[in-house]
Amino acid sequence: MEQMVPENHFLRKVDRAVDFSFIYNLCAPLYCADNARPTVDPEILFRMLLVGYLYGIKSEARLEEESNYSIAYKWFCGLDLTDKAPDATTISQDRRRRFQDNNIAEEIFNEILRQCVAKGLVGGATLYTDSTHIKVRANKHKKKRAEVAVTPKAYLSELEAQADQEREKLGKKPFDRDGDAHKGGESAARMQSTTGPESGQQSRDGKPNGFYYSEHRTVDSKRNVIVNAYSGLRSVNHRSQTSDFWSLTCPAAAA
């Protein structure tokens, strides 16, 4: 196996950069120690999911198939040549049941990010943030009008306050702004999907009409490491726990 996977293979670089052994302790409370059927090793499970993400494999059935015949994938997941990859149904049910009502995935994200920061793979000086729409697998005609709470835009006000401080240090005047620009209302009427209520309806020129989620990612420019990711309602501004962690870990980026 070692001879069959090139030294410069991308998965070898990932394996050298990240120690995944912390996943065992993190997932220990989710498994029964002495009264259960044999289960999938949690580190193998998350390594497989990471392979699926890194190589754009969106189907768990295809992920199982490719993990069975790709030597590099097997090596990265800790499988021998004759070992069978975990069944796609097992991966799906673990993801839906075992990891549904906890923040294990976010904790794994944060720990990997900590390791990347510690090894100098994250600079914290230049960050790029962008969003994309993810189509909801729901009938666009099954919808209703609903009142949706509008989040006060305190975060934007906080950013503007920081900008004013920086301008003051440079001897410049603060920007002139509308006092009600970030006030926000209590609620607003929205068209809501009855099958995907957390999504938002998109209706713009040149864009397909329907319901979508909004995914936001922030990437550090030094090694293109994702430092923040969030998916949610496209019509509301969000701040995730990951971004708060990032601000504490890398003050230069927060500033």
Tens of pLDDT, residue by residue over 185-220, are 566 677 778 877 777 777 777 777 788 888 888 999
Whether 211 and 195 have beta carbons less than 8 Å apart is answered as no
- Structural domain contains residue 50: yes
Question: Does one domain contain both 92 and 194?
Answer: no
What does the pLDDT read at residue 107? 92
Q: Which structural domain range is residue 238 located in?
A: 127-254
Q: Is the pLDDT of residue 163 over 90?
A: no
Q: How many domains does the chain have?
A: 2
In a domain, 118, yes or no: no
Closest of 212, 248, 233, 216 to residue 151, by C-alpha: 233
Mean pLDDT of the residues in the chain: 80
Distance CA(211)–CA(194), nearest Å, equals 11
**Domain-located, residue 121:** no
CA-wise closest residue to 92 among 34, 52, 54: 52
d(CA 244, CA 246): 5
Domain boundary among the residues 41, 68, 102 is at 102
Between helix 104-118 and helix 241-249 the angle, nearest 10°, is 20
Look at residue 70 and tell me if it is in a domain.
Answer: yes
* 64 and 177 co-located in one domain: no
> What is the per-residue pLDDT for 128?
92
Read off the pLDDT band of 91 (50, 70, 90): confident
Task: Note whether residue 187 is domain-resident.
Answer: yes
Considering the domain architecture, whether residues 64 and 140 belong to the same structural domain is answered as: no
Selected residue with higher pLDDT from 13 and 187? 13
Q: Which residue has the tokens 């069959």?
A: 4
More confident residue, 227 or 136: 227
Q: CB–CB of 246/253 below 8 Å? A: yes
Residues 92 and 156 in one domain: no
Q: Give SS3 for 245.
A: helix
In this prediction, residues 229-241 reach a mean pLDDT of: 49
pLDDT grade for 156, boundaries at 50, 70 and 90 = low
Q: What does pTM read for this prediction?
A: 0.69
pLDDT tens digits for range 92-141: 888 788 887 888 888 999 999 999 999 999 998 899 999 888 888 777 77
User: What's the pLDDT at 112?
Assistant: 94
Per the domain annotation, does 229 fall within a domain?
Answer: yes
C-alpha span between 132 and 17 (Å, rounded) = 28
**Triad 210, 213, 218: Cα angle to 5°:** 140
Same domain, 74 and 148: no
Residues 62 and 164 in one domain: no
Count of CB atoms situated within 10 Å of the CB of 104:
18
Whole-number percent of the chain with pLDDT over 70 = 80
State residue 189's pLDDT score.
72
Same domain, 135 and 196: yes
* Cα dihedral 138/140/142/144 (nearest 10): 120
